[in-house]
Structure 1
Amino acid sequence: MASSVETTLKQSPRLLPASASPIGEYRRGGHSRRSLETTSIVDISPPEIVERRSSAWSGIAVETVEITRHEPFEYRFQAACHLLIAAELAERDDGETVLEGLPRSTLRDFTRKLTFVPAGHVFRGSQKPRVLSRTMYFYLDPTGPLADPALRFSEIEFKPRLFFYDRDLWEIALKLKSPVENPGSMHRQYVEALGILLTHEIIRMNSDSRRCGQAARGGLATWQQRRVADYIEEHMGDDIPLATLSELARLSPYHFCRSFKRSFGMPPHKYHAVRRIERAKQLLSNRELSVTAIALKVGFGETSTFTAAFHRFTGVSPSRYRSNLD
């Protein structure tokens, strides 16, 4: 958990560049060269007892951390980003946790507990682990592109919270763990949508936060629907960032997602996936194209991934679908 291993980001208001793409990375101790490349991992003493996996998108970085040996260790975090910590498994025989603004804690078992460290706050501690802990870390850029401007996310004075439980935050955290451990298992737009939800849930749980702006009640205007749909058709095989689609509609990502679903009956990431399969169906009628070539044309890096997605939407494999066209 938080009390397991801590990560520190450089004192920069930008967590990740706007062009950052999801990267899955595995490392034992030390630093990752690619994922979280604009961040600095704090020293964990001793560093060799830690294993990390991480992925990063625009405005959010996610890391899973595991302790590999039953040895005492220390940790520390302070950065210009917010940090949400989710402890999947965390028990200690001895130690303490200190979060600036709150009393220190010597809680022994904080499995399935959350901790929120507002930007700039000091978070540190030490412990003698009872079990080999597993923890998830979520680094949120206060000025990131996924934060709805209407929320004034960067202006909210968040309260620190130590060892609490919130079902909605926990469920989102578990969903965001998947693309870290299995890169490519989730569509980028879906991950970004989860990031937006995470931002809103953090605001909700903050008792002194400002009220969120009213979500758009209606769907997209006709020109917005046409513009977004045309863009998806033209970039069928690309990994389209949610921010790109929302900019085309001139809406914040949060309002765009809600309005898009009202208009199309499904979230943007699912609509894109459906359109890819529909395009694949058309291409399968061309016998000169192999299944592998079609997979690449519609944006799948591997034939097996394409086959699984095609079967999920149609109930048959691409090859069987093609044979049924005879």
Structure 2
Amino acid sequence: MTLSIDHTAGRDAPGAIGEILDRPPALVNEVLRGGTRLTQRWGHGEFHATLPGMATHVVMTYYGAAQDSSWRQGSRRMAARTRPGSITLIPEGQDGRWDVEGPIEVSHVYLPDDRLQSSADVLAKGRRIELVGRICFEDMASSRILELLSHEAAHGDVSSSLFVEQAIELLCTQLVRAHSSQGLLEAPAPRRGLADWQVKRVTAYMREFMDQEIRLDELAKLVNLSRFHFCTAFRLATGQTPHEWLTALRITRSRELLAEPEMPITSIALAVGYQTPSSFASSFRKVTGMTPTAYRRAL
């Protein structure tokens, strides 16, 4: 998606995003070179709203369970799923309607265009860089840099600040390489794997039979692939193994059930496919960082 962007106008990005979320961005206090801002890793719920053009580029990555996400502007539309290893990139000045299911965990970088242009000058050879909008686009390099930034930015010491500034330079280089309309470098090969309809079919099956043991052979049969080719294609399409995807669905559903105080945790474990409370608690804690009991108390 390549758009004509007005570089002279735009809303404050953290403020504009905060207005449409149930929780504002978890901004780090330090303002970095060129006015760059970072967030820590934080979570928010679903949202369905129009986001105005913003005064900086916004780059984000995702953690935890995958959710449906889409962007629409006139006849243009993009849709994908939020998954670890992917990024969403909103170029400066780009507006549009967003529909994102939740809850999701994210971290953001608010990158002023001047910082990008300065960092990209060597690669661009004096030409202006125009970024390409992305939604949940597989880019493990950018995603990993964003994850490191969210972690280091919270430290606030001199060594962390130096690391953060250098990591932002690296992020700018990757954005030019992989998400620039200038064609400065060869574009990465397109992602291969299951089609969107195949991922949806497998996901629907997982949700329907979540309380039962689900075998890889069953899932592979849904899309007419061998077990081996299914596992490879599924990971290429989603960034996760079928087991990781199923676990994320089970934990997401268990969170919903834990909000019902009258439902015993043992019953919840069985409803989402765990045979014992201990195996459920272990899986839940690995994903959320707390036990089901602690999670329920925090609601």
By percentage of residues, which structure has more helix? 2
Instruction: Report the TM range for the smaller structure's normalisation.
Output: 0.3 to 0.5
Q: TM-score, normalised by structure 2?
A: 0.47
The structure with the larger Rg is 1
Q: TM-score, normalised by structure 1?
A: 0.44
